[in-house]
Amino acid sequence: VGLEVAHRCTVHSYVRGWKLLSEADVSPHTEDQVLAILVELLRTLTWLHGLPDPVVHGAIRPVNIVRRELDRRLVLLDFMGVRDAIRGGSPSPTPLDPGYNAPEQVLDWPASPATDLWALGALCVRLLSGRDPSELWDGTELRWQPHVFASADLLLLLSDLLQVDPSRRPSHASD
């Protein structure tokens, strides 16, 4: 199910393809593969976060990303919390997924674009290391560094995305 936001409604459609989780389970990805995924998802998040009423996905993880069969593009799924907020209610609680949920989500603080950027960093760790981020969460931070081998630039970006304090993360996907 994909989502378009227009005039405070959601439009869902069936997306034929396979979940990124199936790719993540095969073997760790190369840095080039992860960078391609990162760029594609950042484009989507830049659009979502740049709407007049910014949309925070809040549940970015491999199970909620499908590679569309038609064109091999990535599609974010599971916008149910967004749907509930648009209808005027409170967003549905997203089941906590240690490692992918930003620390502020665990503390039940408001989500922001920085929340999605944490999850994107955790996704990159999963794809590069082959390890589920929940295995690397120690209760206070994600201890990913010993498990990820990448260029200095990518390591610096991941370090920025995975700051525990959301005010120290990039504040928008376009940052």
- Summarised one tens digit per residue, pLDDT across range 68-105 is 999 999 999 886 555 444 444 444 455 667 788 899 88
Give the H/E segment covering residue 44.
helix 31-49
Q: For 22-33, what is the mean pLDDT?
A: 83
The secondary structure of the chain in percent helix, strand, coil, rounded to multiples of 5, reads 45, 10, 45
List the 74-76 sheet strands across, edge first.
Answer: 17-19, 65-68, 74-76
Q: How far is residue 152 from each of residues 54, 106, 155, 156, 159, measured CA to CA in Å?
A: 31, 29, 5, 6, 10
- pLDDT bin (cut points 50, 70, 90) of residue 168 is very high
d(C-alpha 62, C-alpha 50), whole Å: 23
- pLDDT bin (cut points 50, 70, 90) of residue 125 is very high
Q: What is the DSSP letter of 54?
A: -
d(C-alpha 28, C-alpha 17), whole Å: 20
pLDDT at 80: 55
Q: Which residue has the tokens 């370090």?
A: 159
Residue pair 91/142 in contact (Cβ under 8 Å)? The answer is no
User: What pLDDT digit, counting tens, does each position of 41-56 carry?
Assistant: 999 999 998 888 888 8
pLDDT at 110: 83
The mean pLDDT value of the chain amounts to 84
- Pick from 6-10, 54-58, 143-147 the range whose average pLDDT is largest: 143-147
pLDDT at 4: 54
Q: For 29-38, what is the mean pLDDT?
A: 95
- Whether residue 16 has pLDDT greater than 80: yes
Q: For 56-61, what is the mean pLDDT?
A: 89
**Both tokens assigned to 72:** 């091999």
